[in-house]
Amino acid sequence: MAGALGLELRCLFVLLLTLAAVVSGGGGERPVPALFVFGDSLIDNGNNNNLASLAKANYFPYGIDFAAGPTGRFCNGYTIVDELADLLGLPLVPPYSEASTIQQVLQGVNYASAAAGILDDSGGNFVGRIPFNEQIGYFESTAAQIAGAIGPAAAGGRLARSILFVGMGSNDYLNNYLMPNYDTRRRYDPQQFADLLVRQYAAQLTRLYKAGGRKFVVAGVGALGCIPSVLAQNLAGQCSQEVDDLVLPFNDNVRAMLDGLNADLAGARFTYLDNFRVFRAILGNPAAFGFSVVDRGCCGIGRNGGQISCLPFMPPCADRDRYVFWDAYHPTAAVNVIIARQAFHGAADVVDPVNVQQLATL
């Protein structure tokens, strides 16, 4: 009994020392103390595992190249935010569903959920998912938890130095606007839909700002017209310019919206990551990036490996680092690492007005 009590007291003492270091800013604390992540299956790392959802990846061969195996990442290995955490000197961020201790939460949380969208009803065909509005609510709860642990002033400073990575929008197109069982396309032309999305997006990002966020990396939607599921829809296996043309007004609107938020919100630093440009550069000259297979998923069935996405225990391709796409919808870890490094070190044609490394020091 006494031994158990002594162990509990030692654990409490360690926790108090940790919190004291956080409050004081001592202990060689990093310029960016935490990474908070919002998004969809491109950066989900397990939040859908326990949902009643058709959008899950907690089975082999997902995670085949990840040290912990299948975790819920829709990839063979690292996601973009995994690599960013490494570059920032942070531990890999736990999913919100598994962030059980204050020590974990103080270094960041991933709220991303496969099939989630800016609009609450996007991704409904997959049933369970955590839309962006709900992810924001979880962050607000996290901010309150941190304030309760280290005090409001220290929590405000910590959140202001943290980076919030937001990658939303893909499901508002793939699993809303382009879905025949949604009436969105009949109600809005592409520009009207982009306008609708970005009005909502601006309000959501402002809500994150009001919850304490100050440093934001906002990723645009990538080149959806060349993913295997789209390639498989025509016998020639060609990229769909029509699908890419749908996304471009959204990305343009997001850039303009972020400029406005930088001007209007005191102390805010929003930077835009041009995923579309990076993907197009890779697809335009794959050999320069080390790739040789750009027109099919490494794990999938049918034309272009894109008619049915990666099923449980399906053997994937052996040379995964040579593939741009892992499954019918998602890039390989090799692509994710390239995008993350472009975000961290890249020039203004990819990440603007500052890259993540510069953002960290502001």
Q: Which residues are catalytic?
A: 41, 327, 330
* 67, 125 Cβ separation under 8 angstroms: no
User: Please, how many CA atoms are within 13 Å of residue 106, restricted to the half-sphere of its CB?
Assistant: 21
* 77, 63 Cβ separation under 8 angstroms: yes
Peptide bond into 353 cis (omega under 30): yes
Distance of CA 176 to the CA centre of its chain: 19
Nearest in space to 226 (alpha carbons), one of 342, 324, 80, 114:
324
Torsion of CA 95, 228, 62, 135, to 10 degrees: 10
Tokens representing residue 293 in the block: 């297979």
In degrees, rounded to 5, the angle at the alpha carbon of residue 335 between the alpha carbons of residues 329 and 337 is 130
